[in-house]
Amino acid sequence: MVTWNDLKNECLACNKCELSRTAKNVVIGRGNENASLMFVGEGPGKEEDEQGLPFVGKAGQLLDHLLNAIPFQPDEYYITNIVKCRPEGNRDPSDEEAQNCLPHLRNQFRLMRPKIIVCLGRISAKYLIHPDFKITQNRGKWFDKGGTKMMAVYHPAYLLRNEKEKVTQWNDFMEIRKALNEYIK
């Protein structure tokens, strides 16, 4: 059985794809490793690559603001990404890069056993919920994967460009709050 230390060491030593050549840091995750709720984005951006932490740039600040406002306590969730190294220029990770990195995420699932997984954006939902996931049609809906509740919401970076969708995001996060309450009551 892989431990968190094994997983971190495997990620730090990983060179299974080209992203390892240009990334400054391997961005594994942040938050409570024993939480019931896991957020999964697509990959680190420039700020995340610099700091070695996911969702710490402008989009991450917006995410934190929303989480604090709902509220979710910081120990109630864990945040990670499909790929752990930054795709340069903030492009989407290629299918090959994602497939190479998914075993690390699967190990995170095994260690955490989250009750709820929330995909932050289409790319994450494509790999975790359905290959043809349509974010505008299917965000905010619950899916069941082997007993784990899964939902996709807009990526916080999308909300920076589309302010009017913040209400939609708020409502989706309220649904996630309600679902988490069911597990902790």
The answer to whether residue 28 forms part of the interface with ligand SF4 (CB under 6 A) is: no
Candidate segments 67-75, 83-91, 133-141, 151-159, binder of ligand SF4 by CB under 6 A: 83-91
Q: Which residue has the tokens 């957020």?
A: 39
User: Which residue in 7, 19, 119, 176 binds ligand SF4 (CB under 6 A)?
Assistant: 19
The answer to whether residue 101 forms part of the interface with ligand SF4 (CB under 6 A) is: yes
- What are φ and ψ of residue 51, in 5° steps? -90, -15
User: Which residue in 30, 84, 122, 149 binds ligand SF4 (CB under 6 A)?
Assistant: 84
Token pair for 90 = 């903030």
The answer to whether residue 128 forms part of the interface with ligand SF4 (CB under 6 A) is: no
The answer to whether residue 123 forms part of the interface with ligand SF4 (CB under 6 A) is: no
Q: Which residues pair with 79 in a beta bridge?
A: 30, 39
User: Which residue in 2, 14, 62, 111 binds ligand SF4 (CB under 6 A)?
Assistant: 14
Q: Which residues contact 131 (CB under 8 A, 6 or more apart)?
A: none
**Cα end-to-end distance, the chain, whole Å:** 30
The answer to whether residue 135 forms part of the interface with ligand SF4 (CB under 6 A) is: no
Q: Which stretches of the chain are DSSP H helices?
A: 4-13, 19-22, 46-51, 58-69, 95-112, 122-128, 135-138, 156-161, 166-184
Give the closest residue to 125 by CA, choosing from 27, 40, 31, 28. 40
User: Which residue in 16, 24, 115, 166 binds ligand SF4 (CB under 6 A)?
Assistant: 16
The answer to whether residue 169 forms part of the interface with ligand SF4 (CB under 6 A) is: no
Binding stretches for ligand SF4 (CB under 6 A): 11, 14-17, 19-20, 26, 83-85, 97, 100-101, 104
